[in-house]
Amino acid sequence: MSLTRPALGLAVLTLALPLLAACGEDEPKLVIYNAQHEQLLDEIVPAFEEETGIEVELRNAKDLELSNQLVQEGDASDADVFLTENSPAMSQVEQAGLFAELPAEVLDVIPEMYRPASGLWTGFVARSTVLVYNTGLIEESELPASILELAEPEWAGRLSFSPTGADFQAIVAAVLELEGEEATRAWLEGIKENGTVYDGNNVVLESVNSGESEVGIVYHYYWERDREEGGDVHGDSAQYYFADQDPGAFVSVSGAGILESSDMKDEAEEFMEFLVGEEGQQIIADSYALEYPLNPDITLEQGVKPFSELEPPAVNVSDLDAEAVVDLMTEVGFL
Ligand SMILES: [Fe+2]
């Protein structure tokens, strides 16, 4: 279009725009139910759209909100792809029989321990459990070897965490899978007794950094992002990574899968290939997120502890049970 187009032409164009937009809305879009952080998808999706010409519509909500919605909608769901922050919500949808098998091009990229043997979904990014501690109040040498010790009486009044979020609930799912129901209930009762409950992991960081709590259970990226962004909730605290396959060294994966009911499976597969492929994973590695890419060819740098140095317990991602965790946490009085 020429810049010197007369005013009448512009008026016609202005009138025509709503019609064009209406036509655009009729084009089928790849619908992604997204519970990963919106900000991360806002980096991945435009690159995917540009490369493939496939338009994406994101519908954002929390892990269990979307998994419950998918189970309710069943075959009638608009969703083509489901992305979560943590994997228990993926297992819920898998158990409901709603996922299509992923192509080998997707599965072969991701190490086996970060996806279920069923091939019905895969992890695409990972986050490590950590203990954030106030460096003025406690020495690293005084921190417990196991996250399970935080339930002991000596930790009374010294701990904080955010039990309502999918992040903490994934950690509980790992404890449940590794230690069994009785030990997990006892652990939850102990940390409930000892801890202060906050709504949100950033509030946990604040409480530790200010010295209200000595230690807090979070994932690594909260503190790392604050450090990277020069924020004000990391300067008086540091991160402690549990080791030796302790339940506290649990690495949680964000999951991705294609709905069997999708009428855009080819496009959904293209999205999945992009997400786990080098380009998508490099976008994740370079992004604000500071989460670990799961494609072994791509490395997160940006000053974060290397993924290869983590010592996570072997957890079968298919066995992380969202419903059992919600039941147990309700019973103990967290939810
Ligand atoms: Fe999170």
Spacing, Cα 61 to ligand 1 middle (Å): 13
Using a 10 angstrom Cβ sphere, with 0-12 exposed, 13-18 middle and 19 or more buried, the burial of residue 197 is middle
Residue 2's pLDDT is 38
pLDDT at 210 exceeding the cut of 60: yes
Spacing, Cα 278 to ligand 1 middle (Å): 23
Spacing, Cα 248 to ligand 1 middle (Å): 16
Spacing, Cα 242 to ligand 1 middle (Å): 18
Average pLDDT over residues 167-186: 97
Using a 10 angstrom Cβ sphere, with 0-12 exposed, 13-18 middle and 19 or more buried, the burial of residue 156 is exposed
Cα gap 242→77, rounded to integer Å: 40
Spacing, Cα 14 to ligand 1 middle (Å): 43
Residue 288's pLDDT is 96
Residue 8's pLDDT is 46
Spacing, Cα 201 to ligand 1 middle (Å): 7
CB-based contact 257:81 (threshold 8 Å): yes
Reported as a pLDDT band with limits 50, 70 and 90, residue 81 is very high
Average pLDDT over residues 159-184: 96
Average pLDDT over residues 149-165: 97
Specify the DSSP element, H or E, that contains 212. none
pLDDT, averaged across the chain:
93
Rounding to the nearest 10 degrees, give the CA dihedral for residues 318, 309, 286, 248.
50
Please name which of 140, 128, 111 lies closest in space to residue 281, comparing C-alpha atoms: 111
Specify the DSSP element, H or E, that contains 145. none
Reported as a pLDDT band with limits 50, 70 and 90, residue 22 is very low
Q: Which amino acid is at 19?
A: L
Spacing, Cα 113 to ligand 1 middle (Å): 21
Average pLDDT over residues 232-240: 98
Sign of CA dihedral 326, 327, 329, 334: positive
Average pLDDT over residues 213-217: 98
User: For residues 16 and 60, which has the higher predicted lDDT (pLDDT)?
Assistant: 60
Spacing, Cα 255 to ligand 1 middle (Å): 13
Cα gap 135→114, rounded to integer Å: 33
pLDDT digit string, tens, across residues 65-78: 999 999 999 999 99
Spacing, Cα 94 to ligand 1 middle (Å): 22
Average pLDDT over residues 312-331: 93
pLDDT digit string, tens, across residues 250-269: 999 999 999 999 999 999 99
Spacing, Cα 36 to ligand 1 middle (Å): 8
Average pLDDT over residues 306-322: 94
- What would you measure as the largest C-alpha separation in the chain, in angstroms? 79
Q: Which amino acid is at 41?
A: L
pLDDT at 13 exceeding the cut of 60: no
Spacing, Cα 85 to ligand 1 middle (Å): 7
pLDDT at 7 exceeding the cut of 50: no
Cα gap 191→286, rounded to integer Å: 36
Residue 27's pLDDT is 80
Spacing, Cα 35 to ligand 1 middle (Å): 10
Spacing, Cα 202 to ligand 1 middle (Å): 9
pLDDT at 10 exceeding the cut of 60: no
pLDDT at 298 exceeding the cut of 90: yes
Spacing, Cα 19 to ligand 1 middle (Å): 40
Average pLDDT over residues 99-128: 97
Residue 23's pLDDT is 46
Reported as a pLDDT band with limits 50, 70 and 90, residue 3 is very low
Spacing, Cα 264 to ligand 1 middle (Å): 29
Cα gap 216→208, rounded to integer Å: 6
Spacing, Cα 289 to ligand 1 middle (Å): 10
% of residues, the chain, pLDDT over 70? 92
Cα gap 150→209, rounded to integer Å: 19
Spacing, Cα 25 to ligand 1 middle (Å): 32
Residue 9's pLDDT is 47
> Alpha carbon of 269 to those of 29, 105, 258, 282: distances in Å?
14, 9, 8, 19
Residue 131's pLDDT is 98
Please name which of 237, 18, 6 lies closest in space to residue 143, comparing C-alpha atoms: 237
Reported as a pLDDT band with limits 50, 70 and 90, residue 318 is confident
Residue 107's pLDDT is 98
Residue 19's pLDDT is 47
Reported as a pLDDT band with limits 50, 70 and 90, residue 32 is very high
Average pLDDT over residues 286-314: 97
Using a 10 angstrom Cβ sphere, with 0-12 exposed, 13-18 middle and 19 or more buried, the burial of residue 104 is exposed
Cα gap 263→259, rounded to integer Å: 9
Q: What is the DSSP letter of 118?
A: T
Please name which of 26, 92, 18 lies closest in space to residue 57, comparing C-alpha atoms: 26
Q: What is the DSSP letter of 305?
A: P
Spacing, Cα 7 to ligand 1 middle (Å): 51
